[in-house]
Chain A
Amino acid sequence: MRAVYAVSGGVSKFAKARPDKTFQAIVKEAYDYAIADLGLDFKQFTELVDGSVASYFSDHFQRQLMSGIMAQDYLGLCPKPGHRVEGGGATGGLCFQEAWKSVASGHMDICVAYGFETMSHVETWKGNEFIALASDVSFDYPVGGFYSGYYAMMVTRHMKEFGTTVEQMAHVSVKNHMNAFYNPYSQKHKRLTIQDVRNAPMVAWPLTRLDICVMSDGAAATILCSEDGLAKLEKASGKRLPRVKVTGIGRGTDAMRMADRPHDTYDKFMRTYALPSEAESKETQAYYKKLWSKGFRYPGVHSFRAGRMASKQAYAHAGIADPLHEIDFVELHDAYTSSEIQTYEDMGLCRYGEGGPFAESGKAFTPGVQYGLKLKAKPICAVNPSGGLIACGHPVGATGLMQAVFAIWQLQGTIKKHFQDDTLQIKHAKRGAIHSHAGTGTYVSVSILEREQ
């Protein structure tokens, strides 16, 4: 397979509602930004680009089938190849990987991945109903279909198994909202305390409104290319482009009905799910043996097996043995503070059961940002330096691509240029991970991006 570079990106600032433009025009904002950042104009880029992948989740919100082709024609990409990708909340991450495949396979030299969602067509509670249709409509939806409720059930089990606390979850909210303070693309710039998070209206016990991301309208686009594609873009723009390479991709899945997910044994876990670093460590083996002796089973409803499989594959692909110390930052799918904690564990930033203490340790905080919290440990691997979904919003099809754009800018060292502020620039960032996650952990993708020296 060929080397793939992620050379550019653009994001339309996510907002609760964008009645000023139709979805195609919002996509074009992100697309135009990505082209301009290459130093090219629309016609130059149109001549060079080989095709596209479109990312959007819901035909219900759109009330328009084949929205993808309407974005494609609006962007002037017809008659070039293109297709739509859909995988719930992971749609954007999957789209990024489909564009990677198009380039890695040799099918295209330059491929644009664009994504969008316009969720303001219905009131919030009807929107929650639409989203909950992404659960089994025979057995789950009618019982009380509500995604916040589903995630809340998962976290009560996490709390019961591991002693995870609501205050540890609130640390994630404080962190991500505070990071967002320096990101002009975020929607919620808030200086919060742990108490603010807990005092917010309860949505689904124990998750409050400040533990949960908001539905939004928005779009994002990234441009991927091969060595040859890079040469073409550089020739056209007359400038050298920063080298950010996609060095690993991974994906996993799990049953739609979380009730149906397995409760596997220690041996099965070690054989199939443990990261090599876990399987090889005597100390970690003993740690997990003890968990199982207390009744722990994997993945149950407290862990995302799909997230672990995606991480494991991506790390193997990129040659990562110790994710916490070998990845400089992660943009992960924090639709809920609880799922950020669960994802720390799936991604091996800590072991299963250690997500709560890890959240409050400070290890996932961004250096140089003042959080107003007493943190025991220094930052090691910044998680959601952008503010994540909690502060930026979650226009489903755009979200995973927004993460890719922020990761590209981090690795290019161009955060200051795009944010007009370099507080969130991770100094000397060499490697980042993006993690995209669909409904209760059904589809998860992890991609690794690296700055090439």
Chain B
Amino acid sequence: MAKKNPKPNTEARREESLDGTIVFRLPFPKKLDAAALQALKELTPIVKRQPYHVEYIHSYGQDSPWFAALTNKVLLGNRDPESGYTYATPRGADMYTGNETDWVQLPSEGVIHAFTVCHFGSEEFLPETPFVLALLEIEGANTLFLTRVVGLDPSQASLDWIGMKVQARYLRNAKLKPTDVYFVPLNAQAE
């Protein structure tokens, strides 16, 4: 049996909060005549700045062993079982055969193929500028590897850096980022 509607509350108010910026009355015409309504088109725009932050869940999926390897000071790559084509950055399927790739250990040395010194950067990396970003050739891999190179003077950037031998170093406090490995110029005596 349908209940009779209770009497609506005509005094209802939405609960207001006192957090964040609170604005009471922005400048506005006291009298809204036709001229005042027309003049609203000439107002400067209202621009507000607000925070925008999320916690984000990111899975490394089939590439996960590569990050586990870095925490053990090992550089892994992926290899096509048929052609032997080897990727220095993880890739679960070969681009040319479509095969699922296998894991292989890569050497911890490389050669600078291309580089830059970032004097500016994305906000996240601004505090780290200037830094050297490089693409490395890794022995036994057919593709390049993007990394940071430290131990070079950023103010002395030179094309001569291309071809330089470098060796991997690993963060002791791994962050599960590709920067858990980075490279430094290879010690000529150790070579």
Give A residues with C-beta under 8 Å from B: 19-21, 63, 123, 125-126, 128-129, 132, 137-140, 142-146, 148-149, 152-154, 156-157, 159-160, 201-207, 255, 257-263, 301-302
Contacts and interface: CB of A to CB of B under 8 A. Distances in A.
A156 B135 CA distance: 11
Select the residue from B58, B116, B117, B143 with max chain A CB neighbours within 10 A: B116
Contacts of B58: 137-138
Contacts of B116: 149, 152-153, 156, 204-207
Contacts of A138: 58, 60, 63, 178
Contacts of B45: 19-21
A19 B47 contact: yes
Select the residue from A152, A153, A206 with max chain B CB neighbours within 10 A: A153
Contact of A260 (B143, B147, B179): B143
Given A129-B123, A149-B133, A260-B89, A144 B145 contact: no
Contact of B146 (A63, A140, A202, A207): A140
Nearest to A132: B122
Contacts of B123: 123, 125-126, 128-129
A145 B122 contact: yes
Contacts of A63: 52
B114 A153 contact: yes
Contacts of A202: 117, 119
Closest 4 CB pairs of A and B: A152-B116, A129-B122, A259-B144, A157-B114
12 contacts: A125-B122, A126-B123, A138-B60, A139-B63, A144-B133, A146-B125, A149-B133, A156-B159, A204-B133, A258-B135, A261-B143, A262-B142
Interface of B: 44-45, 47, 52, 58, 60, 63, 87-91, 95, 113-126, 128, 131, 133-135, 142-148, 157, 159, 162, 177-179
Contacts of A140: 146, 178
A142 B146 CA distance: 10
Contacts of A144: 118, 121-122, 125, 128, 131, 133, 148
B119 A203 contact: yes
Given A137-B58, A142-B178, A160 B162 contact: yes
Contacts of B135: 153, 157, 258-259, 301
Given A129-B124, A156-B162, A257-B146, A148 B87 contact: no
A149 B115 CA distance: 8
Contacts of B177: 142
A126 B122 CA distance: 6
Contact of A125 (B113, B121, B142, B146): B121
B119 A201 contact: yes
A407 B133 CA distance: 37
Contacts of B126: 125
Contacts of B159: 156, 159-160
A257 B121 CA distance: 18
Contacts of B95: 255, 260
Contact of A206 (B90, B124, B157, B162): B157
B120 A203 contact: yes
Contacts of A301: 113-114, 135, 144
Contacts of B145: 259
A342 to B, nearest CB: 13
A255 B119 CA distance: 26
A203 B122 CA distance: 11
B118 A204 contact: yes
A200 to B, nearest CB: 11
Contact of A139 (B44, B128, B146, B157): B146
A144 B44 CA distance: 38
A137 B63 CA distance: 13
Contact of A143 (B87, B117, B142, B146): B146
A159 B45 CA distance: 47
B126 to A, nearest CB: 6
A346 B146 CA distance: 24
A20 B144 CA distance: 46
Select the residue from A21, A129, A201 with max chain B CB neighbours within 10 A: A129
Nearest to A135: B146
A81 B118 CA distance: 45
Given A145-B125, A207-B116, A260-B95, 15 more contacts: A125-B126, A128-B123, A138-B58, A138-B178, A142-B177, A144-B121, A146-B118, A148-B118, A153-B116, A154-B114, A157-B135, A159-B159, A202-B119, A203-B118, A255-B95
Contacts of B120: 125, 128, 146, 148, 203-204
A225 to B, nearest CB: 34
Given A139-B178, A201-B119, A259-B145, A156 B124 contact: no
